[in-house]
């Protein structure tokens, strides 16, 4: 075995070995932890000051926000804002919600996730609404021009809207999804935003008598809101009027409703007229609605005439089917569309009335929205 050399008599003493190299990684790790801790508390303080400044600006604009028992936690990699409840009030409306949690990852501050436990209560003029759910989650992806995507997912929403006329309206659904994004190629020039809504097993008992079916409905809606960039957080009347004056329009690319054996698909556009009522038109394809048309028209023209109109509609649709059969499968596919849906007369919203072809839909008056 090699021997440790003996020190030379009268020579220099051997230098002791330095052990700092053994502890250097731990020292660096401790420095990183301390720096990250300081940075996290700085970011939290910055977030609190920004939130306080935003609340002050909102209060000056007449919008009062209250986050009860506010706290910000989430060390070391997240910021978690918690409120025992949220209250909002302004001159024309108010609501309460809570408790909520908003989570932002420190390394991805443009993406926020919100969870709310409810219940939700809202008051808007003579209208009041209450909604509960089993779970609610929303997400927001920020971008340089505002946002790149917003999503809302709700399981088992259930609630009621109270109004002087027609009275309380109860509703429920198994699942709800709502997604929005700036329309590619149109947001910068037209302020357009794409909105997609999905409702599974939706039920509104008050409408069952009108539709003639108690089956729950599955609803899909894909639409584009033009001039959405003019909308801010002012009163409903002010924002809708700004949108109307900017030639705002709702382009319904597709709406699909399936309720039992009855199905309907439509596309069209709707805006606001000078009297602040909805106006527009929709092309409709449907299946199983002939009896419903007769039932609705019977409310205006009497049961016999209503049944006659329903029969005419049925013959109209049947005539289309015969012409389709005579023209061949290609023609049939073009006329009937997917799933055997047949075209109905154009549905128009005009002068406060709802028109199905040349016939006004009875007992329907389009409301003045503001």
**pLDDT computed for residue 287 by the predictor:** 86
**CA separation for the pair 357, 140 (Å, rounded):** 42
Q: How far is CA 349 from CA 287, 296, 315, 353, in A?
A: 22, 17, 25, 6
How is 198-237 classified by DSSP, letter by letter? EEEEEB-HHHHHHHT--S-EEEEEEEEEETGGG--SS-HH
**CA separation for the pair 264, 218 (Å, rounded):** 11
The stretches in the chain having pLDDT less than 50 are 317-336
Residues 6+ apart with CB under 8 A from 4: none
- Asked if 113 and 102 count as a contact pair (C-beta separation under 8 A), the reply is yes
Nearest to 140 by CA among 165, 115, 168: 115
Rounded CA Rg of the chain: 31
**Helix H segments across the chain?**
20-60, 187-190, 205-211, 236-245, 290-301, 303-327, 329-336
Residues 6+ apart with CB under 8 A from 182: 143, 145, 146, 147, 148, 192, 193, 194
201: left (phi over 0), alpha (psi -120 to 50) or beta: left
Q: Give the residue carrying structure tokens 């309206």.
A: 169
- Asked if 153 and 160 count as a contact pair (C-beta separation under 8 A), the reply is no
- Asked if 71 and 84 count as a contact pair (C-beta separation under 8 A), the reply is no
- Asked if 268 and 249 count as a contact pair (C-beta separation under 8 A), the reply is no
The DSSP output letter for 63 is -
- Asked if 370 and 244 count as a contact pair (C-beta separation under 8 A), the reply is no
**pLDDT computed for residue 125 by the predictor:** 86
**pLDDT computed for residue 44 by the predictor:** 95
**pLDDT computed for residue 318 by the predictor:** 44
**CA separation for the pair 197, 151 (Å, rounded):** 10
Task: Return phi, psi of residue 253, to 5°.
Answer: -70, -35
Q: How far is CA 365 from CA 84, 124, 204, 278, 306, in A?
A: 42, 21, 20, 11, 19
Nearest to 272 by CA among 311, 227, 302, 306: 227
Q: How far is CA 2 from CA 8, 101, 305, in A?
A: 17, 68, 117
Helix/strand/coil percent split, the chain, to 5: 30, 40, 25
**CA separation for the pair 108, 99 (Å, rounded):** 24
**CA separation for the pair 139, 356 (Å, rounded):** 40
Tokens, residue 320: 């289309």
- Asked if 165 and 198 count as a contact pair (C-beta separation under 8 A), the reply is no
Count other Cβ atoms within 10 Å, centred on residue 62.
Answer: 12
Tokens, residue 33: 């932890």
């Amino acid at each position: 075995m090699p021997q440790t050399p003996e020190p030379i008599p009268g020579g220099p003493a051997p230098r002791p070995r330095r052990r700092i190299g053994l502890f250097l990684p731990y020292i660096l790790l401790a420095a990183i932890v301390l720096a990250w801790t300081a940075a996290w508390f700085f970011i939290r303080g910055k977030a609190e000051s920004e939130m306080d400044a935003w609340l002050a600006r909102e209060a000056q604009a007449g919008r009062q926000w209250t986050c009860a028992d506010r706290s910000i936690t989430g060390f070391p990699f997240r910021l978690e804002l918690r409120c025992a409840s949220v209250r909002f009030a302004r001159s024309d409306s108010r609501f309460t919600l809570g408790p909520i949690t908003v989570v932002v990852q420190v390394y991805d501050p443009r993406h926020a996730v919100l969870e709310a436990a409810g219940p939700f209560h809202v008051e808007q003029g003579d209208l009041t609404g209450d909604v509960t759910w089993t779970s609610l989650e929303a997400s927001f992806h920020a971008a340089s021009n505002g946002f790149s995507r917003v999503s809302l997912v709700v399981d088992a929403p259930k609630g009621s809207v109270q109004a002087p006329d027609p009275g309380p309206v109860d509703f429920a659904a198994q699942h709800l999804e709502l997604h929005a994004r700036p329309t590619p190629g149109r947001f910068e020039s037209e302020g357009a935003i794409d909105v997609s809504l999905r409702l599974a097993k939706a039920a509104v008992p008050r409408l069952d008598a009108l539709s003639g079916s108690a089956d729950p409905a599955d609803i899909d809606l894909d639409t584009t809101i033009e001039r959405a960039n003019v909308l801010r957080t002012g009163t409903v009347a002010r924002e809708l009027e700004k949108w109307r004056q900017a030639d705002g329009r709702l382009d319904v690319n597709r709406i699909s409703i399936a309720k039992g054996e009855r199905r309907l698909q439509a596309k069209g556009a709707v805006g606001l007229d000078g009297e602040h009522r909805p106006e527009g038109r929709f092309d409709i394809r449907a299946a199983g609605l002939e009896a419903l048309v007769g039932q609705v028209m019977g409310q205006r023209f009497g049961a016999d005439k209503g049944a006659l109109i329903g029969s005419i509609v049925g013959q109209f649709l049947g005539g289309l089917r015969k012409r389709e059969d005579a023209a061949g499968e290609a023609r049939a596919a073009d006329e009937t569309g997917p799933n055997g849906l047949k075209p109905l007369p154009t549905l128009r919203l005009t002068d406060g009335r709802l028109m199905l072809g040349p016939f006004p839909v009875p007992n329907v008056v389009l409301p003045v929205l503001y």
